[in-house]
Copies of this chain bind each other. A is one copy, B any other.
Amino acid sequence: MFPLPDPMRLALDAARQAGQAGEVPVGAVVMRQGEVIATGANAPRRLHDPTAHAEIQAIRAAAARLGRDRLEDCDLWVTLEPCAMCAGAIAHARIARLYYAASDPKGGAVEHGPRFFAQPTCHHRPDIYSGMGEGEAAGLLRDFFTARR
């Protein structure tokens, strides 16, 4: 086993915090040149904001911090395959590399459903890497939904 890269470790920490706050445990981190620019935790219920997925939170915070709406020199690390909303935001933000841990057959839009980045109408496609930390990321989700039943 290789050790998990630090950004995915941070994203998993954010996911765990989301779960402890009663939100579906998904976390995300925006990195630039080895520096953490922003983290995001899933929080639609707490924030009364249906768009407050971890990726959107991290991208908005990173763009605000850098003072621009394009993050072409930034990478996004997230614990779950992005949905269509978040995949669209990743394209709009011009994220360079997307790293995600667990795949999401039910709501994912990268390798499932709309397969957004493979559409001819998609105007920006990041380099995509998946699977790192997927066991831990999926375990957090499984434990969360088991406890809710």
Interface, chain A (partner B; CB < 8 A): 44-45, 47-53, 56, 59-60, 63-64, 66-71, 83-89, 91-94, 105-109, 112-116, 119-123
Contact = CB atoms under 8 A, between A and B. Distances in A.
A75 B40 CA distance: 28
Considering residues A52, A63, A84, A89, which has the most beta carbons from chain B within 10 angstroms of its beta carbon? A84
A114 B88 CA distance: 11
Report how many copies the assembly holds: 2
Nearest to A67: B48
14 contacts: A47-B69, A50-B59, A51-B59, A83-B88, A84-B88, A84-B91, A84-B109, A84-B116, A85-B85, A85-B87, A105-B121, A108-B121, A113-B120, A114-B116
B89 A50 contact: yes
